[in-house]
Structure 1
C-alpha cells in the first residue's frame, strides 16, 4: 500500500488550546496504517520578535519551504499560522501545491478569516464586546474599534487585514476549512467562505465518567481553567459574583496562568484571604483534570470574546461536571446536544438564577452527557475521512484507546 505523507503546520509547538489539538492530530493520524506524519512549528526556525517578522516572517517561510521540498507531503493540514508563522507561509503552501499536487486543509481555531480581531471582539469605551455574526460583512464593522490600543493601531490592524486578503486570499488556498464549531462555520459562510466542514476538536480527557448526583447542595465550588487573560472574562466574573453576594458560591478555583493574574490577585486580595478565590496555578493535564474533578461542582466559561469551540465545556462533561457559560458567542451554542450547559448573562440576577438551575441539575440522578463526537477516536476517524487517508486504526490502537479509558477511570476514583 502506498504511504500517505501528512504535514501538520502550526504557529507554536506549545502554548494553548490550538497547540493541544495540533499535537493530538499528529499523534492520532500516526495511528493509521500507511500514514507518515511530520510537524512544522516555531521549533523549526529561529524566532524573530520584530514587528516586521510578525507581519511577514521570511525565516518561517524559508524553513517551511525547505520542509515541504524535503518531505514532499500528500496532504498539508494547517492549524494556526497568522501569529508566529505569519501569512508569509501561505504563498509557500500555494506555490508548492501547484508543483507537488498535495491537498490542503486548515483548522480554523479563531476568527482571523472573517474579522480584524481574531477573538471576534470589538471595544466600546475600552470594554470588550462580542461582535454579532449578523454584523459580519457590513460597513458597520469598519467603524467599530477592533483593538483597545487606540485609533492608529486600530486603523493599521484593519489595513493589514485587508492587504493580506487582497495579496494572499487565505481561504482560497485551502481545499477545505475544518470548523471546530457550527458557530465558526456560520461565521465563515456568512463571509462567503463555502469550502467548510464541521469537525469538533477532540477532548483531552480520554474517557467519559458517569456523572454522580449531588443532592441538597446549596453552595458550590466553581472552577475556571485556562489562560488568565482579558478575553477569558475571569475578572468580570468575579465582579459579577461579588455583585450577586456570592450567593450559592462557596469558592472560585482558578487553574492556569496569564497576564491578568497579578491584577486579579491585587484587586481581589480580600477574597483570597477569605478563601473565596483560590489560585491553583498551571498543572499538567493529567493532574488538572483529576484535581478539577475532586474540587469542582461545575466549571465556568465567562469569556468576553466569542470563543470558537471551548473544549472546557466538553472536558467538564467528560468529568461528569456541568458548565456555567456566558450566554454569547460560541459558548452559547457549542455542544448544545451534550446537555451540561447552564447559561448566564452578565447580570447578578441572571447568575443567581443560573446557580439555582445548577442545584436542580446536579441533584438529578439520571443526568447523562452526550460526548461521543468529541472522543479522540471519533476525531481521528472523521479527520482521516475528510482528508481521504489511511485505513482504520489497527487493533493494537483500539486496545490503546481502551487502555486510556480504563486508566482515566482509575485516575478519577
Structure 2
C-alpha cells in the first residue's frame, strides 16, 4: 500500500490472511504477530482502528482492536478508500435499515403491524458494525454493545441510529442499553443496563414495552427479560407453526413468554400447553394470553422440560392431566452449548429432548424443533434428530428447514452469523 495511513499497523499470520480472504472477519490473539504505532508515533490504544498487513506487506483490511479479547481485531472494512468518520457509520446504519425494509417491509400479515416495527436493526458483523446489536420494539430501541471499540464510539453511533430512523418517519422515544452480558468482561468492560441519556430528551419512566408481532400483543420487560427482551429471530418460524396448528393440541416446550404458543392458538389450535422452567416467563406468558384473548384455549406449566417430557411419556395420567395427547410439539430450547468443546454433550441433549417428543407424538403428528447455538451446526442438529428418530422407532417426513429471520442476516464466509436452525416434520 503506497498511500500513508493514520492507523497503527498490525502484522498478521498467513493463516489469518487466508481466512480473511475467504470472508472471515475476526483475527485472533495468536494470529497477530506485532502491532506498530501509527506514522508520527501515535501510540496503540485499546479500541482503536488498526490496519492489517500480511507478513509480506499486503494490506488485508482495517478493524477495531480489542486488547483484552481473544478476538484481537474485528474487521470493519476491506476497502482501502474507506475513512472511518461519521459519514462511514451513517452509511452502515442506513444500509442496514434499508435492508430491513426490503426483506421485511412487504411480509406483514394482513391487517397486522409492519414487520419492521419489531425487528433487529443492526446485527454486528453481518451489518458491518462488529460488536453492536440493536433491536427495535415499536418505539424503543434496545442496544447491546459488546466490544471495547464500539463502547468508545456509542456516543456517536446512538444519535446516528436515531437520526436515520427518525428521518425515515419512524417514531423512536429512546434507547435502552442491555450492557449486562458477561461477555463484556472479556473486553475489559463493566456491566450495566438502563436508558441511554439522549441530550435534551426526557428519559422514559419505565422499561416495559407493549409490542406487536404477527398481529399479537406482547408485554415485554426489556430490563429483565433474556437478551434484549424477546427473540425476534423466530418471527417467521412462529408463523410456520401457526400454519400447522389449526385444530391441533399443542405442547410448546421452552415457551419463554409464549410467542410460539400464542401463534399456535391464533392459528386455530384446539388447546395449547406452554411449559418453561422460569416462573417469571410463565407469568408473562399468561398475561400475553390474556392480552390476546387466547387464554381460554391455553394453559401453563412451570417445569424443567428435560424432566417434564419423560414424565409425560411414562405416565398417561400425567399426560392427560396436562391436556394431552398432543399432536403438535414445539421444541425451542436455549443454546445447549456456548463453546465448541461442549458440542458432544449438547448434541446428546438435543437428541434426548427430540426423542421424548417423538415418543409422545402419534403417527401423523407434527414436530417443530430448533437449535440456537452457532456451534451446533445444521449437520450436527440433523444428526441428533435422526438419532432420536431411530431410538424412538419413527420415520420423519421433513416439511421445512428454516433459519433465523432475515433481519438477522447470515454473512457467507462468517459462519458465526448463522446460529439458528428450525425444522418441521411429520411423524410417519
When normalised by structure 2's length, the TM-score is: 0.29
Larger Rg: 2
Pick the structure with more helix per residue. 1
Pick the structure with more strand per residue. 2
